[in-house]
Structures are given as C-alpha cells and as structure tokens.
Structure 1
C-alpha cells in the first residue's frame, strides 16, 4: 500500500483519478435509471429494454470514434461537446413527454455522445508518472472504478424509487455536467496533446494485442454480467442477499487489483488471472446458497480488476501514443457488447433452467476467455523487463545536403 500512497502523491495523480471517477459515475447509474424511468412512463419492460438497448448500441458505436476524434480536435473540445450533448439527451428523456420512437432516439443520442473519459485518462496516464510505475497506476485505476459500480446503482435506485425517476435522471445530468467539468478543467488535459493518427480508422485493430484485449474484455464483462443476472435471479431483485453478494463481488475485484498491481506481467499473466475468475465462477455451480455464492464470487472478483489492468497496460505498450485513445475505445466497445450479450443470454437461460443457467453462461464466457488467453499467449508483450509506455510517434525529418 505504501507504493500506492507514493503513486497518489505524484503531481496531479490523485486529482485526475478523482476527477475521472466523478465524470464516469453516471455510467454506473444510467442503465438502471433509464430502465426504471421508461418502464414507469410506458408501463412496459419491453419498451424500457428497447431504449436501453439503443443507448448501449450508441455507446458501443461511439467509443472508438469519439476517442479517435480527440487526436484530431483535442481532448477538451471533444469532451465538452459530448458532455453537453449527452446531458441534453438525458434531460430530454426526463422532461419531454414523447412517444416510444422518440424516446428511443433520445436514448440513442445519449449513448452516441457518451464522453470518452476512459480513453482520455488512460492516454494521459503515461505522461504523468515514471514509466516503471505505470502498471501500478493502471491497476489502481481498475480497482477504483469499482466505486462507480457500487455507489452508482445504490444511489440511483434510492433516488428513483424514493423520490421520482425524473429526479433520478436529472441527478445524472447534474453529475455528468459537474464531473465532466471537473475532468475537463484538469490541468493535465491542457498539458497532454494526442498526436493525430496517420493510420486510417480501425487499423489499430490489426495490432494483435488490441484485438486480443478487445475480445478478452468482451468475454470477461460478458461473464460478470451473466453472473450478476444469476445472483439477482437467485434471490429476487430487491433482496438484501443480492445487494450483499454483488457488493462482495466488487470488493473482491477492488482487493485483487491492488494486490496484483505491483506484480510484473508476463505473457502468461493474463491466463493466470482468468484462471482465478474461472475458479470462482465454477464454484458458483456447486450451490446457490447466499454465503457460498458470496465466497465464490469474492474469489472470482480477485481476478477481474487484474485482468482489466493488464489489458490497459499491454495495450499501452503495444501501440503508438497517437493510437492509444482509439485502442481504448475499441476495448470499451468490446466490454459494452459483452455486457449486453452476457445479460441477454443469461436471461434466456434463467427463463429456461433457472438461476443456475446464468452461472453456466458466466462460466462458459470466462472459460472461453481463459482458452483464448492461453492459446494466443504469444500475442501478449512481456512487461517483466520493460515498462508499459506507448511506442513514441516518429515523423520523417527533412535533411539538407
């Protein structure tokens, strides 16, 4: 922990971490808020699911695009524009009585305009700390983001159910604007300029590490989403057991990220970290007892943040600095698609065979992830004897005889 304390004492690190967590907090609230609000207005979970799907599709499509725009127009310009548009779209969802197709459009716009905060901050990190401390910073980031997924749903559920769904959505608008402003005004955004990429859009996916981390992010988040659905199905949506178990799942990830943060990463580290997740998910198949599930998912959680931290580090080490933002955008898109597909498949399995079907779905996702990490181990860089700094961008220099 002393290493993390020293890391947070580095100039600007604690500030930029806090600012980006505040800017990203709405991502832990929006899905649930939209679901509750649209169901309340249109009296249909099908309608609510359709709007939520449109929002998720918008986020998945926008991720790599808006991330790449930061290299063309600058981080602050892109973040200001996307923050204002997504806030306006969410406000429209809350305040404008509209037929379902228009509501779907509002959700799609909110998703398409999602500010690329994750891509921005992970592109900034290599310019803030000594290269030898970069992997620890990625691990700290991956651990602390669990705060978003613990605090966000609890806060929005309380406000939306105890006050109103309109107030819940307007609270998200306020947090989006306040957190976004804090992050946008961070001095580091003015000091770091992302060079404009010279390669065409999507070419970064030809880098083996980027495609591997995108696929593995899809499989990991698909597994966690299916497991979360299985927990809710086991005890009911409002049960105390569900909240407790999901909180333990997140705490396990938080602890795992910090514990693994300073361990050097070899090409086999990804498979080892997936093994921890797979072992925990496999144990959930033994029993759906609350205490057993809590212990099993706490074990699984120990591997989640370490997998994400390694994904960020090896991506950074494998691409040029001008391509890091787009690369992280693709990784985020993979995770969003994984979350949607994992939840959808788990839902069908719950309807067919019960909560255990969701856990089987989760185990299938994570097992495929483990196999991919092991089979394609040569696609991961060895960071045991090098840092995770991006490859410098170089340009031809004109010389005169």
Structure 2
C-alpha cells in the first residue's frame, strides 16, 4: 500500500483517476437504466433487449474508431463531441416516446457516441508517471474500476424503481456530462497529444500482445457476465443475496488488484492470474449455497483486476504511442463482445438446465482464457526487467504546455 500512496502523491494522478472513474460511472448504469425504461414503456423485455443489443453493437463498433480519432482531431475535441452526442441520445430515450425502431436507432447512436474515456486515460498514464510506477498504476486503475460495478447498478436500480425510469436515465445524463466535463477539462488531457497513426485501422491487431489481450479480455469478461447471469437467476432475479454476492465478487477483484499489482509481469503472469479465476469459478459449480458462492467468487475475483492490469501493461509496452488509444479501443470491443457472449450462453444454459448452467459457462470461459494464455505464452512480453511504456514514435511529438 505504501507504493500506491506514493503513486497517488504524484501530481495529477489522484485527480485524473477520480475524474475518469466519475466519467465512466455511467458505464455501470446505462444498460440497466435503458432495460428498465424500455420495459416500462413498452411492457416487453424482448423490446428492451433489442434496444440494448443496438447500444452494445454501437459501443463495439465505436471503440477502436473513436479512439483512433483522438490521434487525428485531438482528445478534447473527440471526447467533447461524443459526450454531447451520447448525452443527447440518452436524454431523448428518456423524454420522447417513439416506436421501437426509433428507440433502437437512438440506442445505436448512444453506443456509437460513447466517449472513449478508457482509451484516453490509459494513453495518458505513461506520460504522468515514471516507468517503474506505470504497471502499479494500471493495476490500481483496474482495481478501482470495480467501484463502478459495485455502486452503479445499486444506485440506478434504486432511482429507477423508487423514483422512476425517466429520472433514472436523466441521472445517467447528469453524471455523464459532469464526469465527462471534469475529465475533459483536466490539465493532463490538454497536455498530451496523440500523434496521428500512419498505419491503417486494425493493423495494430497484427501485434501478438494486442490480439492476445483482446482474446483473453473477451474470455475473462465473458466469464464475468456469465457469473452475473448465474447469480441473478439463482437468487430470484436480483434479490438482496444477489447484490451482496456480486459485491463480494467485485471486492475480491479490488483486493487482488491492490495486493498483486506491484508484482513484476512475466510471460506466465496472465496464465497464473487467469488460473485463479478459473479455479474459483470451477468451484462455484459444486453448490449454489449463498455462502459457498460468496467464498468461491471471492477467490475468483482475486484474479480479475490483476489479469486486466496485465492486459493494459502488455498492450502499452508493445505498440507505438500513436497506436495505444486504438489498441485499447480494440480491447474494449473484445470485452463488450465477451460480455454479450457470456450473457447469451449463460442465458441459454439457465433455460436448459437451471442456474447451475450459468456457472458452468463462466468456468468454461475462464478455463478457455487460461488455455489461451498458457498455449500462446511466447506471445506475452516479459516486463520483469523493462517498463511498460509505449514504444516512442520516430517523429517529434508536440506537447501543449
């Protein structure tokens, strides 16, 4: 913890972490808020699912594209335009009644215009700290983002069910605008300029560490999504036990990230951390008892943030600075697709064999992630004796002071 205190004492680090967490807080609220609102308006969960699917498709498509745009038009400009477009689309979803196809179109717009905060901040980090602090910073970031997934769903459910779904969506808009403005106006966002990439869109995926980070991220987040579906189906669609057990899962990730974030990252680091997740999720299949699930998910969670930290560090160390934002965009897209796949597979298995099917799906995703990491271990960089800073571009980079 002393290392993290020193890290947070670095000028600007604490502020930028707080700003980006606030700006990304709506990520944990929007899907649930849209689901509850569209179901309330149309009386159909099927219709709500279609709107959510359109939103998710938009987010998956936009990830690498809007991230790459930051190197062309600048971070502040891209973040501001996408922020305003996304907020307008969500506000329209809340305030205007319309046919289902138009709801889907607005959902698609909201997804396409989701501000690339995550790509932006992880591109900024290497310019804020020294090389030895970068890997712990990625770990701290991966750990603290669990706060979003613990608090955001509880807050939006409380507002939507007790006050109304329209106020719930408008709350998302307010936090999106406030947090986004805080992040965009942060001095670090103005100081760092991403050089224009000279390679075509998608060429960054030819880097083995980027494709491996995208693939393992797909499988890891797929496992997490399947767990969420399993816990909700086990405890009657989101009772108190479901919320508490998912919170324990997130707390395990937070604790794991803070405990293991300082460890050097070698080629086997990803496999070891995914092994923890796979073991914990495999044990969930034994029993659906709340205490057992809580204990096993606490174990599984301990590997999640450390695994995400490896993804961020290995990506940063393997690409040019001009390519980092796009690379993180592809990783984000892989995780979004993984979340959709995990939820879908778990849903089918729950319908077929019961709640235990979701935990089988989660374990299968996690085991597959471990197998990928172990099989392609030579594709993971060895960062034990080097830092995870991006490869410098060969041309001078102008910095705004």
Deviation of residue 69 (structure 1)? 0.1
The TM-score, its normalising length taken from structure 2, stands at: 0.98
CA distance in 2, matches of 1:286, 1:238: 21
- Equivalent position of 2:318 in the other structure: 318
- Equivalent position of 1:84 in the other structure: 84
CA distance in 1, matches of 2:48, 2:280: 32
CA distance in 2, matches of 1:185, 1:158: 30
Query: Which digits, 9 at most, give the CA deviation of each residue in 1:19-61, with x for residues without a partner?
Result: 0000000000000000000000000000000000000000000
CA distance in 2, matches of 1:226, 1:22: 26
Deviation of residue 238 (structure 1)? 3.3
Query: Which digits, 9 at most, give the CA deviation of each residue in 1:159-217, with x for residues without a partner?
Result: 00000000000000101100000000000011100000010111000000000000000
CA RMSD of aligned residues (A): 0.7
- Equivalent position of 2:122 in the other structure: 122
Secondary structure of the residue that 1:383 maps to in structure 2? coil
- Equivalent position of 2:184 in the other structure: 184
- Equivalent position of 1:399 in the other structure: none
Query: Which digits, 9 at most, give the CA deviation of each residue in 1:291-323, with x for residues without a partner?
Result: 000000000000000000000000000000000
Secondary structure of the residue that 1:182 maps to in structure 2? helix
Secondary structure of the residue that 1:115 maps to in structure 2? coil
Query: Which digits, 9 at most, give the CA deviation of each residue in 1:108-128, with x for residues without a partner?
Result: 000000000000000000000
> Are 1:226 and 2:226 matched, yes or no?
yes
> Are 1:367 and 2:372 matched, yes or no?
no
Query: Which digits, 9 at most, give the CA deviation of each residue in 1:237-274, with x for residues without a partner?
Result: 23111111000000000000011110001100100000
- Equivalent position of 1:235 in the other structure: 235
Deviation of residue 236 (structure 1)? 1.1
CA distance in 1, matches of 2:123, 2:362: 31
- Equivalent position of 1:217 in the other structure: 217
CA distance in 2, matches of 1:234, 1:181: 39
- Equivalent position of 2:399 in the other structure: none
CA distance in 2, matches of 1:160, 1:234: 23
> Are 1:282 and 2:302 matched, yes or no?
no
Deviation of residue 16 (structure 1)? 0.2
The residue correspondences of 1:199-348 to structure 2 (distance < 5 A) are: 199-348=199-348
CA distance in 1, matches of 2:362, 2:262: 28
Moved over 6 A (4+): none
CA distance in 1, matches of 2:152, 2:57: 21
